[in-house]
């Protein structure tokens, strides 16, 4: 029986102004053990190592993504398979848990089929499945990734930024106990924006990318401002504005809503920031818990 394991990082999308185009991988992982069982009587078996309620049939997102890879590649039937999921990325919290499943499925299918597609090709397919590139692409490639879709074709660049490592920047990933569906968090956004708001976000997303590329920590705080999604989503994340303000007072370099939320991430270097922030969050309703994470540079790997 052949077996291998796929490990995929959590991701945070947008980083403030980079709505649907900038994302970053974090050192928190989902793993899935893939076993080719050769047992034709049980074509599919799905187990959750954490006893989570995950779909155990063909609707399972990892399995559906394996299937999608086979369909897109136009290759034959899948062999009998057992998937054992070990999920550490909180679900429905804006940390790319769905993207991690899609990526795990595509990496697994690439390995099972022996097609040996490049990570770049898998990233394009993953972005097509998810509808935007800002979670799946960093989940595959690692690091901070900027992506754009032109006439249906994905172009992306992984920024080789040493900014966070050189300045010992950590991410206080503040995860609440409540969930927020991406569907709802996208529904509250307007169909149209003013030219002033469009210019605001283009300029800030560009400044953010340039600051990351040049390693300029001093511009990050200003660069993380946004007028496209965060102001509209604040109504769905109780105390979001207060949390941003408190993080700022405690010395955060910058804060943003992680993807569609409700998780909020603050960048910090002060050693006691996390402790002070957690004490503050404990005074709020919502069951907020901080994960202190670093940037993941490698993206998805087979182990």
Total residues contacting ligand HSE by CB under 6 A comes to 13
Residue positions counted in the chain: 303
In the region spanning residues 214 to 253, those forming contacts with ligand HSE, defined by CB under 6 A, are: 229
Stretch that binds ligand HSE, among 113-121, 129-137, 165-173, 273-281 (CB under 6 A): 129-137
- Residue 108, token pair as written in the block: 């697994």
* Residue of 101, 91, 99 whose CA lies nearest to 34: 101
**Minimum distance from residue 56 beta carbon to ligand HSE (Å):** 24
Q: Which tokens is 142 given?
A: 């690692």
Any contact of residue 13 with ligand HSE (CB under 6 A)?
A: yes
Alpha-carbon Rg for the chain in angstroms: 19
CB 71 within 8 A of CB 110: no
Q: Of 61-69, 181-189, 248-256, 268-276, which segment contacts ligand HSE by CB under 6 A?
A: 181-189
CB of 37 to ligand HSE, least distance (A): 33
**Residue labelled with tokens 């097609």:** 115
Within 10 angstroms of residue 212's Cβ, the number of other Cβ atoms is 25
Structure tokens at 65: 């993504």
Whether 20 contacts 14, CB under 8 Å: yes
Q: Residue 20 or 87: which CB sits closer to ligand HSE?
A: 20
- Our CB check for ligand HSE shows the closer of 21 and 250 to be 21
Q: C-beta of 81: minimal distance to ligand HSE in Å?
A: 27
Stretch that binds ligand HSE, among 68-76, 85-93, 127-135, 248-256 (CB under 6 A): 127-135
| C-alpha separations of 87 from 13, 29, 72, 111 in Å | 19, 7, 27, 21
CA distances from 107 to 68, 80, 119, 244 (A): 12, 17, 8, 36
102 binds ligand HSE (CB under 6 A): no
Of 11, 14, 60, 85, the one binding ligand HSE (CB under 6 A) is 14
204 binds ligand HSE (CB under 6 A): no
Residue 248's Cβ-count burial label (10 Å; 0-12, 13-18, 19+) is middle
Looking at 87, 134, 226, 296, which residue binds ligand HSE (CB under 6 A)? Answer: 134
CA 15 to chain centre: 11
Nearer to ligand HSE, 226 or 296 (CB): 226
Nearer to ligand HSE, 94 or 299 (CB): 94
User: Toward ligand HSE, which CB reaches closer, 102 or 295?
Assistant: 102
Q: Which helix (H) or strand (E) holds 97?
A: helix 97-113
Question: Minimal distance in Å, beta carbon 107 to ligand HSE?
Answer: 19
Distance CA 23, CA 181 (A): 18
CB of 100 to ligand HSE, least distance (A): 12
User: Smallest gap, in angstroms, from Cβ of residue 18 to ligand HSE?
Assistant: 8
Q: Which of 6, 10, 252, 260 binds ligand HSE (CB under 6 A)?
A: 260
Distance of CA 38 to the CA centre of its chain: 34
Contact footprint for ligand HSE (CB under 6 A) = 13-14, 19-20, 132, 134-135, 182, 185-186, 229, 259-260
């Amino acid at each position: 029986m052949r077996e291998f394991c796929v490990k995929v990082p959590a991701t945070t999308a947008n980083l403030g102004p980079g709505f649907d185009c900038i994302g970053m991988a974090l050192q928190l992982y989902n793993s899935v053990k893939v076993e080719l069982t050769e047992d034709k009587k049980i074509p599919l078996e799905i187990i959750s190592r954490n006893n989570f309620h995950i779909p155990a049939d063909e609707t399972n997102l990892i399995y559906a993504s394996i299937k999608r890879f086979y369909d897109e590649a136009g290759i034959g039937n899948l062999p009998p398979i057992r998937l054992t999921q070990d999920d550490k990325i909180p679900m429905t919290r804006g940390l790319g848990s769905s993207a991690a499943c899609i990526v795990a499925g595509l990496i697994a299918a690439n390995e099972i089929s022996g097609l040996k597609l490049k990570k770049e090709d898998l990233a394009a397919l993953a972005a097509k499945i998810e509808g935007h590139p800002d979670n799946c692409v960093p989940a595959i490639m690692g690091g901070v990734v900027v992506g754009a879709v032109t006439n249906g074709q994905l172009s992306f660049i992984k920024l080789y930024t040493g900014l966070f490592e050189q300045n010992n920047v950590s991410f206080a990933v503040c995860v609440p106990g409540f969930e927020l569906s991406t569907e709802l968090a996208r529904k509250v956004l307007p169909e149209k924006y003013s030219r002033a708001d469009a210019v605001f976000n283009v300029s800030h997303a560009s400044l953010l990318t340039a600051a990351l590329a040049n390693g300029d920590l001093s511009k990050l705080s200003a660069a993380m401002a946004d007028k496209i999604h965060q102001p509209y989503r604040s109504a769905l994340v109780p105390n979001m504005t207060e949390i941003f303000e408190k993080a700022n007072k405690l010395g955060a370099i910058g804060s943003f809503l992680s993807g569609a939320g409700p998780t909020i991430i603050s960048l910090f270097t002060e050693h006691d920031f996390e402790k002070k922030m957690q004490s503050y969050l404990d005074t709020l309703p919502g069951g907020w818990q901080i994960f202190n994470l670093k940037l993941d540079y490698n993206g998805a790997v087979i182990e």
